[in-house]
Amino acid sequence: MSRLPAPENLPPARNVEIETASYEDSTAAKKDAADAIATPVIAPLKRDEPVVTRKELWSYYLYYNGDNGVGPLGYSMTLFQSLATSAGYDPVAGPGSSCNAPNASGQCVLPWGGGTKAVSSIVLIANGVSFAVMTAIFTTIGSAADYGTFGRWLLFVITVICWAAQFASMALTSPRRWGLAMALYMIGFITYGATLVFYAALFPRLARNTPHARDLREKYESGQIPVEEYEVEESLEKNRISNISTMHSNIGYIVTLALNLSLLLPLASNAKVDNYVLVLTNAYWVIVGIWWFIFQQPRPGPSLPPGEHYLTVGWKQIWIAVKQYKKLPYTFIYLVAFFLLADGLNTTGTLISICQNDKFEFSFLYNTYLGLAQAITSTASTLGFWYIQRYWKISTKKMFVVTNVVTIMIPLWGMIGIWTPKLGFHNVWEFWAYNVVFGLFQAPYYAFSQTMMAELSPPGFDNMFFGLFGLSNRASSMIGPNVIQAIINDTGDNWKGFPFLFALCTAASIVIWFGVDITKGRRDAVAWADKHRSYAETGIYVGEEDVLDSKDPVKMSVTNDTYLTHM
C-alpha cells in the first residue's frame, strides 16, 4: 500500500482507525476552537505601500471639495426640468398651452413614445436610467480597479467626462434642446456618481497608511496596546478621514454657491446666467480637484492575471465576492439593507427637488440660497458629529443610527402633503426647514455609511467591495424612481410617491439597526482577507478549499488526521 510522504512536523506514525463521523466532528471542533482563539483583528499588509503625506491627504480632501454635486446633482437637473417644462404643455388646456401660464393646472406633459408623459416622470426616468448605467459601470469595471493602476486612471477618465458634460451646458439655451439637456444631465449625473464611488474606494487604503495608523499597528503588534484599544482607535482614524473629507465637500458646497451669487445677482436679467453659473461651478471643481491626480502616491494593486481582461474580470470578482455571503454575513446584510435605504433616500431627495423646483419656478438664485442653508448646516453637523464621536468614542453604527431616524422622518413628512395643502412640502418655509434638517443629519449619514463599509470590507479587496457598495448607494435607485414615476404618471400627484419611500427607508433602517454587528463583521472581513493574502501578490483568487497554509493550525490538524488515516 502506498504511503503519503510524512511532513517534517508530523508526529511519529501510528496505526489508528478513524470513523468518518467522528473524524468530521473532530475537524469541526478543532476549526471552531481555532477560530475562537485565532481571529485576526489587524489587516495584513499586502505590500510596502508609501506612508500618506500631508500634501497627498490635502489633495484628497480638495478633490471632494470640488466634487460637491452642486453642478451635476443640482443645477443640471434644475436646468433640464426648466427647459422640459417650457417645452411641454398643460394636459388640461391641451396642446399649444403653456405649463407656465398663470391659470395652468399644475400638470405638465411632453410627447413621449407615441403618447405623453409628465415632466416629473421624465426626470425620474432619467434618474432611473442613469442609475442603471452606473450599475453596468460598477459591475463591469468597478472591481477591475483593484488591479495595477487601472483604478487611478479610471477615476481620472470619468472625472474628465463629467467636467466635459458640465462645460457643454453652455449649449442649453432653448426649450427645444430639452432632449440635449436630458442627455447632458444623465452623462454628468452618471459620471458624478461614479467619481464618488471610486473616490470613496481609495480612502480605506489611505486610512491604513497614515502615520497614526502605522503607529497604532506597531504598538498593537509589539503588545503596547490591547486589541480592543487598537480596534477603537483604528476605526476612529477611518472616521477622521471620512468626516474631514465630507466636511471639505460641504465647504466646497458653500464656496461654490457663494461664488455663484457673484453671477446670479448682477446678471439676474441675463438669459444665459444659469449656463454661466454651471460653467463657474465646474471650473471651481477643476481648479481644486486636479491636484489629487498630481500628488497621489502610487499604491498599485496586483497585475491583471494572465488570460483575464479588464472588461470581464469585474464580473468574476463580483461573483467571487457574492459567494462569500456565508463567510461575511454582516457585510452582505449591510449591503442589501443599504441598497434599499439608499434607494429610498436618493429617490426622496429627487422627488423633493422636483417639488422644490416647481415651487420656486426653477430659480437658480433661490435654489442657491436653499443650498447655502444646507451647506452651512452640513459643515457644522459633520464637525459636530465627529467631535461627539471622538470625545465619547461612540461606535460608527450608533452614530449612523441617529442619522437613519431622520432619513425615515423626511418621507413621512412628505406623506402629510397627500391629505392637506397646509403641510408636507407645500410651503416655502418647509423647503427651508428640509434643507436645514438634511444638512444637519444627512451629511454625517454619508460619512458614517462610508465608514461602515470600510469597516466591513476585507482589506486589499477595497474596489471589489466598494463596487458592491456603489451598487447599494449610487446605483441602487433603479427601483424607487421607476415605481414613483409610474405612481405620479397615473395620479398626476407628486406627493403620492412618499408612502412607498417611507416604507422602503423604514424597513432598511430596521435591518441595519438590529441585523448588523460591526465588530464581528470587521473581524470576519479581516480574517477572510488574511486567508487570501496571496491575492495581493498574484491578483489570482484562490478558494479556501484550495488553500493549504502550513501555519494554519486547523489545516495542519486536518492534514495530520488525513495522513494518519492512510497509515
Question: Would you say residue 276 lies in a domain?
Answer: yes
What does the CA dihedral 349, 355, 361, 366 come to, rounded to 10 degrees? -40
Counting the structural domains of the chain, the total is: 2
Q: Domain check: are 331 and 449 in the same one?
A: yes
Q: Quick one: 440 and 522 in the same domain? A: yes
- 319 inside domain: no
Question: Same structural domain for residues 286 and 360?
Answer: no
Q: What is the CATH number of the domain that holds 115?
A: 1.20.1250
Closest to 252 in 3D by CA, of 123, 61, 530, 457: 61
Whether residues 293 and 397 share a domain: the answer is no
Q: What is the rounded average pLDDT of the residues 395-420? A: 93
> Residue 238: its pLDDT value, please?
84
Quick one: cell of 244?
474631514
Q: Confirm whether 533 is domain-assigned.
A: no
DSSP strands (E only) in 59-217: 109-112, 115-118
Residues 71 and 157 in one domain: yes
Q: Do 427 and 500 belong to one domain?
A: yes
Note whether residue 225 is domain-resident: yes
CA distance 298 to 201: 15
Calculate Rg over the CA atoms of the chain.
27
The pLDDT tens digits for 172-208 are 999 999 999 999 999 999 999 899 888 887 887 888 8
Taking the C-alpha atoms of residue 317 and residue 304, their distance in angstroms, rounded to an integer, is 12
pLDDT tens per residue across span 430-453: 999 999 999 999 888 888 998 899
Same domain, 300 and 329: no
Judge if 124 and 232 occupy the same domain.
Answer: yes
Other Cβ atoms closer than 10 A to 556: 18
Same domain, 282 and 348: no
154 falls within a domain: yes
Residue 414 domain boundaries:
325-526
Note the pLDDT of residue 71.
93
C-beta separation of 477 from 343 below 8 A: yes
Residue 342 shares a structural domain with residue 408: yes
Are 301 and 359 in the same domain?
no
203 domain-assigned: yes
Which pTM does this prediction carry?
A: 0.74
Q: Are 110 and 87 in contact (CB under 8 A)?
A: yes
Angle ∠(106,109,111) on CA atoms, nearest 5: 170
Higher pLDDT, 472 or 47: 472
Indicate whether 279 belongs to any domain. yes
CATH number at residue 478: 1.20.1250.20
Looking at residues 330-352, what average pLDDT do you find? 92
- For a pLDDT cut of 90, what percent of the chain falls above it? 49
Q: At which residue does the C-alpha cell 479581516 appear?
A: 526
Name which of 257-271, 357-371, 452-466 the model is least confident about: 452-466
What pLDDT, on a 0 to 100 scale, did the predictor assign at position 152? Answer: 87
Nine-digit cell at 102?
A: 398663470
Question: pLDDT tens-digit profile of 219-247?
Answer: 988 888 888 888 888 888 888 888 888 88
pLDDT higher than threshold 60 for residue 318: yes
**Domain co-membership, 371 together with 475:** yes
Q: Which residue has the cell 467619481?
A: 195
550 within a domain of the structure (yes/no): no
